[in-house]
Each structure stands twice: as C-alpha cells, then as structure tokens.
Structure 1
Amino acid sequence: MPRTTLSRWLTANVPHFGPYVAIAAAMNVLALALGGTGLTDTADQILGTGDWTQLHTWAALLLKIGISGLGFLPVGVAAYVAYGVAGRPALVPGLLGGMAAMGMEGGLLVGLTAGLIAGATTLALQRVPVPAKTPAALVPFLASLITSAAVFVLADVLLNPLTTWLHQKMAYLEFHDTALLGVFLGLMVCSDLGGMISKTAVAFGTVGVSGYDASKFSPIDMTIMAAVVAAGMVPPLALTLATLVRRTLFTDAERTYGKASWLFGATFVPEGAIPFALADPLRVIPASMAGGAVSGALTMTLNPTISVPYGGVLAVGDMGKPLLFAVAVAAGVLVTAGTAIALKTLRRPAPAAIRPATTRVRTGRKTSAAV
C-alpha cells in the first residue's frame, strides 16, 4: 500500500470525524457546564430518577450521549479506514473489528489498526482463487473473523501486559521519582487520546481522589490527578495554536476544526485532538506525547492539585495553585505546538505538490502550454 495513498485516506478523515468528535465532545462540555463537574459521578443516579423537569437530568443525558459518542469512535474509524483500503467488502470487517476495539476500550490507535487489518485482509482474501459458486459473503465473513481475532490477540498479548507494567511502574515512581512519574503520566494520557493506555493513567490518578470527602485526599494524590488532567488538556489546545501559527501546514478542514478544538482541551477532553491525529498520526501523536510529558513533569514538580478527574478549567474551584497548574499546561502546549510544526515542516511534499508549474509558451500568434 503506497504511503501517499494511506496518508490521503487518513487526511480525508478530518471532514468526516471532525464534526463527529466536535459534537460528542461539545455535549460533554455543555453537560459539565450545566450540571457541574460532579455530574460525572452522579449521572447514572440522576437519570434513574427520571425527573425531566430538572436541568440536571438533561445535563446527565447530554453527558451520557457525549461519552457514548466518543466511545463509539473506534468503530467509525475502523470502518472508514477499511472501506478506504478495500471498498465495500471491507466495511463489515472494519465495523466488527472496530466494535472489538471499542469493547476493549482500545481507543483511536486500536480502531485505526483494526481498520487497516480489515482492509488488508479483505484485499488478500480477494486474491485467493475460489470456485465460481462461492458465496459472496465468504470474504467479508473470513475477514471479520480474522480482524476481530487479531484485535483481541493484540489486547491480550500486547496491551494488557503493557498497561499492567505501566501501572506497576507508576506505583513504584510515586514513592521514588515524582517528576519521572509525571513524564509517564503525560506520555500515557497523550499516547492514544482516550484509549486503553490513556485510561490506565486516568484510573491511576482517580484512585487517589475517589470518594466524596476531599479533605481526606492526600496532596500527592491530588497532584498526580492534576498531572493527568494537565497533560490531557495539552493536545487539543496545542493543535489549535499550531493551526493559527502555521496555517499552511494544515488543511482547510483541520483549520476549521481547530477553531473549536481548543474548547475540548480547556475542559479536559483529550479526544478533541483525534481528528488531527487521524490525519497525521506519525507526527501529531509524538508531538502530543512530548508536550504531555513536559506538562506532567512540571505539574509533579510545581505541585498544583485537583480533587476531581474531569472538567479542566471548569473544575478550577477544585484546584489548588491554579496559576502553577496553568503554567504546566502552557509549557506543554508550547512544546506540542512547536514539535508538531517542526515535524510537519520536515514532511516531504506529496507528488502533486512538487510537480513543476505549467508555463505558457508563445508560438507565433498562438499560445501553447508547456511543462
């Protein structure tokens, strides 16, 4: 598969998934703005009452829809990529592979991997000689089986052991090197933007601030939570900044989406950077991880705190040392924006972009085109 073709498919995701992510993330933001940051803990209980005369009930519904929408993203990504690789026969394998990724909370990267596996498997199976009366559904069936199995094997053989090791490493660093712990947390939160690795970091931070009596939380636990939140805010904020600083490095769809993505960063919705990551994963994700690592390390060094695992700036009332928290976020944003711009600047132009310009050659009274 030519690299330029794959790049074109991924870039084409932005017009489709930009609005999808924007709407789902906006529902999260609006829900927290209407119902308060504590809504995340009480949404199920509020919906259980069924009192639709209360604003909190509608806010809880918005939150549930938004969270479900972002959780469904791996399915859409896998199906879209699979369709781009092998057409309609790969659509169902992509959907089922994406559902497997969603079931294991694999996030963006696993969904993208499932789509590529589904497309490649479908192409390979289509080249196998079969009898003329073979059912047309055989190729999608086999491709679905192979893709789903591959996703589960990926989780069982690679991701589950990796997340277990990371959790053990973070537990060790908590008592031995807090700055390095911040680096780990930042790298994890920004590595898959809401996927399995990111959720492992969020869960590690949430354990220390679980419960309803914030006065009993230890300062180190609240600083760990602050490092997770600060790092998660970095990618959407930074990529919005990058689209403003170097507009020519981004497509029209990315620049349009960048006008809204900063809001998702400000409210700690890391998934807000997914459209950028889909378009250019090999540059956007490393840049995001670099800024997240800086933000996490600075947070653990400066010791701001937060007692809730959500909300971003909406949870400023639950923060300690909010100015130092803002410094850590700003540093990460600058690092990610600068790194993304640098990496995109080094990118080789596509063949169409380097084709010599057409010139006009005058021959007598007629003008002809020459290249």
Structure 2
Amino acid sequence: MDHDPTQTGHFGSRLGGWLASSTPYMASLAAVGGLLTVLGFAISGPDITMTMSTLLNDGSWAQPDTWAALLLQTGVSALALFAPIVAGYVAYGIAGLAALAPGVIGGMVAMNFRGGFLGGLIAGVVAGAVTVVLQRIAVPSVLRGITSMALGPLLSTVVTTAAMFILVGPQITSLTEWLNNELPPLTWGSTVVCGMLLGLMVGFDLSGALSKSAIAFAVTGVETAPNTLNFTIMATVVAAAMVPPLAMSLATVVRRSLFTPAERAYGKVAWLFGAAFVQEGAIPFAVADPLRVLPAAMAGSAVTGAITMTLGSTQTVPYGGVFAAGHLGKPLFFVAAVAIGVLVTAGLVLVLKSLRRAAPAKGTTGTAIPGTRKGQRDGVRT
C-alpha cells in the first residue's frame, strides 16, 4: 500500500486510483475469511451457528465440531473487518500515515453501525480529508514532530468519529428502522416488487446495513412464522445474495482484459463464496470499482429476487447456498433465477467497464493509475 504525495488530478480520479489498487489487500482478507467460513460449514454443517459459542467455551478440542466452530468464528470475525480495513486504506491513500489510525478507528465506528464497506469508505474519506486540512495549518517547527505523530491524528480521529456518530451512524440506524417497519406490509402486495426490493437491498451494500436488514427480515419470518410466503422470501434473499460473487467471478473469465491480475486471481475463488452464500466475496471487486460493480450487482440481484418470488421457490432454513440445497422447494427455478441474475450482473459490469477503458501507458501492460507508483508497477486500470 504505497502513498505518493505527488499524486495529480482531481480528487475523484485519485480516489478511484486508490480504490482500484486495493484488490490485492481486500482479496486476501475476503479469501481467508470466506474460506474459513466455508470450511466451518463444510465440517459440521450450517447448524453449527446455533452451538458455536457453546462449543468454543465448553467443547472438546478432540471433536471436529469444536474446530468447525473455531474456523467459523474466525472467518466471521475476519469478514467483519472490511469497514476498518477499507477506511484505513482510503485514509492512508489520501493523507499518508497520519490518517491511517483515524481512518481505521472511524471504520470501526462504521462497523458498529453495520455500515459495511461503504461506511468504511465514508470514514476513510473523512479521515483523509480532515488530515489533509490539518497538515496545511502552519505550526512552529518545534511542534511539528508531536503534531504530525500525535496531535494531528488525535484531532483527525475526534472529527472523523464525531462525523460517523453524529451524521452517518444515525442515518443508517434510521434507514434500518424504517425498512424494518416497511418490509412486512410490502409482502402483502406485488410479489415482483417485493422480490425486486429485497434483491436491491441485498446487492446494494453486500452485507452492509441494507443487506443485513433484508436477510434478517427473511430469517425472522422463517423462525417465527414458518409458512410458504416466508419460505419464499428466505429463498429470495439467499438467491439474490449469491449473485454478485458468482457474477464477478464469471466476468473475470469472460473478459480477462478488463480486470487486473489480482482481480483475475481472486475471481478463481470468488465463485465459491457465492455458492456458499458468503456475499462478502464480492466486496474486493466493489471496493476497487464501486460505481460500476454495485449498480451491476443491484441489477442482477433485483432480477433474481423478482424471479424467485414470482416462481415461488422456497427455502425452509435460515442459511443458504449449497448448504441448504436439501431444503429448497422448486430447486430448478431457484437455480434458474440465480443463473439469470448472474448473467445480468456479469454482462452489465463488463459493459460498464468497457466504456471506461483507456489506452495502456507506455512501458506497462495495463493502464496505470495517474500519478501513483503503485499503479505504474501493477498496471491497475482506472
């Protein structure tokens, strides 16, 4: 993660460059967390979530279930780190080392509000911007050392966390509460509209506040009122959540030239997370190119949600992917809905990425991020 204070261009292009170069870092976190989660489920099945805490506290380490609980807990903890990791990366890219701690701490606040990686992105931008402003304030030379190492990061941290607590967090909470009130009446109306909205929510922030609200709504219905409608809603959110990782993995195979080497390498395992209902598997792609990946993910997930609700596929358990295959009703319709959504997302993201392709810079195999040594070395496209 290289910071170059000589970066040129307007803020939007520089931010795009920092995000585009993030894939190697985000992919590593997603791969480790996702694989640990999948392994935990594979060893003991999804029901391990019900007994995970008990097994970790009182279980025997000679039993596979205890190790499965450890793997699952570690994987879930790793995937929860996306908000502070994204925030720290973006803040560092904007203002250097002085912004790293404020960004990470701001990202932790976003994580507490279930802000997901988008909340982390906001925290990183705020921390970086505040640090840049503070760095431009003239201070006596005798105070420069302590200002750069302590006072500057301290003030930036206070401003960033205040912004997250006062401005961002309450908005996320209000939106979540509003959705919790509005989602139940929605099920009484059009099944197509209901499926589309649930799909849009799932695809919007990839395990952030909106996505978690949709999934929690489905899980609550299955656990408190097990009926055909709630089973269909459960199948809808699961199918929609499987689309983004599967689609991005497919896209890296269909048009390799539109993706960096790190994205292509990660794409070889991202499909596994989609198949296992680990929607965080698409986050590295979304962080690197949010303005193209997220709209495509929302479109495909919305299509899948509408189809699943319309065709009436059902799922009777509060988990998904291949681990719930034996609990699906109308499984062929479920698979068809996921496949159509994957094609929509993959096709749309390829179109959007094709529209912004630029000629490769001289001496590189790809287009470098303007003004960044990282981009020149890795050939990251913007």
Q: So what's the TM-score if we normalise by structure 2?
A: 0.88
Say which of 346, 349, 359 aligns to 1:340.
349
> Is the CA contact 2:83–2:117 (under 8 Å) kept in the aligned structure 1?
yes
Q: Does the aligned pair in 1 maintain the 2:113–2:169 contact within 8 Å?
A: no
* Deviation for aligned residue 1:45: 2.3
Whether contact under 8 Å (1:170, 1:184) holds in the other structure is no
Match of 1:49 in 2: 58
1:85 equivalenced with 2:94 (yes/no):
yes
State the shift of 1:321 in Å.
Answer: 1.2
Q: Secondary structure at the match of 2:353?
A: helix
Partners in 2 of 1:43 and 1:127 — Cα distance? 50
Taking only the aligned residue pairs, the percentage that are identical comes to 53
Aligned partner of 2:195: which letter? G
Q: Please name the residue that 2:151 is paired with.
A: 138
Q: Which amino acid aligns with 2:86?
A: V
Q: CA deviation at 1:351?
A: 8.2
Aligned 1:144-183 pairs, distance under 5 A: 144-183=157-196
1:115 corresponds to which letter in structure 2?
G
Cα contact 2:113–2:172 (8 A) shared by 1: no
Unaligned runs of 5+ in 1: 356-371
Of 327-336 and 303-312, the range deviating more from structure 2: 303-312
What is the Cα deviation at residue 47 of structure 1? Answer: 2.0
Q: How does 1:304-323 map to 2 (within 5 A)?
A: 304-323=313-332
1:7 Cα offset (Å): 1.7
Q: Distance in 2 between matches of 1:287 and 1:158?
A: 25
- Structure 1 residues 52-67: aligned runs within 5 Å: 52-67=61-76
How far off its partner does 1:76 sit?
1.0
- Paired position in structure 1 for 2:368: none
Aligned to 1:100: 109
Task: Please tell me whether the aligned partners of residues 229 and 309 of structure 1 are also in contact (alpha carbons under 8 angstroms).
Answer: no
Counterpart for residue 359 of structure 1: none
Aligned 8 A contact 1:4 1:350 in 2: no
Per the TM alignment, residue 162 of structure 1 is displaced from its structure 2 partner at its CA by 1.6
Over residues 274-311 of structure 1, what are the superposed CA-to-partner deviations in whole Å (9 max), with x where a residue is unaligned?
11001100000010000010011111101111122323
* Shift, 1:133, TM fit: 4.1
Whole-angstrom distance in 1 between the partners of 2:126 and 2:200:
26
Query: In 1, distance between residues paired with 2:16 and 2:216?
Result: 33
Counterpart check, 1:114 vs 2:129: no
1:209 corresponding residue in structure 2: 222
Amino acid at match of 2:232: T
- Report the equivalent of 2:40: 31
1:299 match: 308
Report if the CA contact (8 A) 1:191-1:285 is conserved: yes
SS at match of 1:292: helix
C-alpha distance in 2, partners of 1:279/1:112?
11
- For 1:259 and 1:154, the matched residues in 2 are separated by 39
User: In structure 1, what is the equivalent of residue 208 of structure 2?
Assistant: 195
What's the offset of the Cα at 1:23? 0.8
1:226 maps to which of 235, 256, 262: 235
Cα deviations by residue, 1:90-116 (Å, 9 ceiling, x for unpaired): 011011101111122211100111111
- Among 247, 255, 273, the residue aligned to 1:238: 247
2:262 is aligned with 1:249: no
Residue by residue, what CA displacement relative to the aligned partner does 1:69-88 show, whole Å, maximum 9, x if unpaired?
A: 00112111111111111001
Q: Distance in 2 between matches of 1:123 and 1:155?
A: 21
Q: How many residues align?
A: 351
1:154, 1:221 → 2: CA distance? Answer: 35
- Kept in 2, the 8 Å contact 1:77–1:115? The answer is yes
Partners of 1:155 and 1:4 in 2: CA distance: 24
In structure 2, distance between residues paired with 1:122 and 1:99: 18
Given that 1:295 and 1:332 are in contact with CA atoms closer than 8 Å, whether structure 2 keeps it comes out as: yes
CA distance in 2, matches of 1:20, 1:157: 28
Query: Equivalent residue for 2:5?
Result: none
TM-score normalised to the size of structure 1?
Answer: 0.91
Equivalent-residue separation in structure 1 for 2:260 and 2:198 (angstroms): 31
Which residue is equivalent to 1:363? none
**What is the CA–CA distance in structure 1 between the aligned matches of 2:173 and 2:27, rounded to whole Å?**
30
CA distance in 2, matches of 1:183, 1:35: 33
Q: Deviations over 1:123-145 (max 9, x none)?
A: 01111233444432111111101
Moved over 4 A (4+): none
Deviates more, 1:45-54 or 1:231-240: 45-54
Counterpart Cα distance in 1 of 2:171 and 2:142:
40
Cα distance in 1 between the residues matched to 2:206 and 2:256:
23
- Alignment-mate amino acid for residue 191 of structure 1: F
Distance 1:131 1:174 in 2: 64
Distance across 1 between alignment mates of 2:169 and 2:265:
39
RMSD (CA atoms): 1.8
Q: Which residue in 2 is equivalent to 1:75? A: 84
Q: 1:361 corresponds to which residue? A: none
Q: How far apart are 1:170 and its partner, in Å?
A: 1.5
Counterpart position of 1:12 = 21
Bigger-Rg structure (1/2): 1
SS at match of 1:37: coil
Q: For the Cα contact (< 8 Å) 1:11–1:278, is it kept in 2? A: yes
The 1:248–1:39 alpha-carbon spacing in structure 2 relative to 1, beyond 3 Å, is same
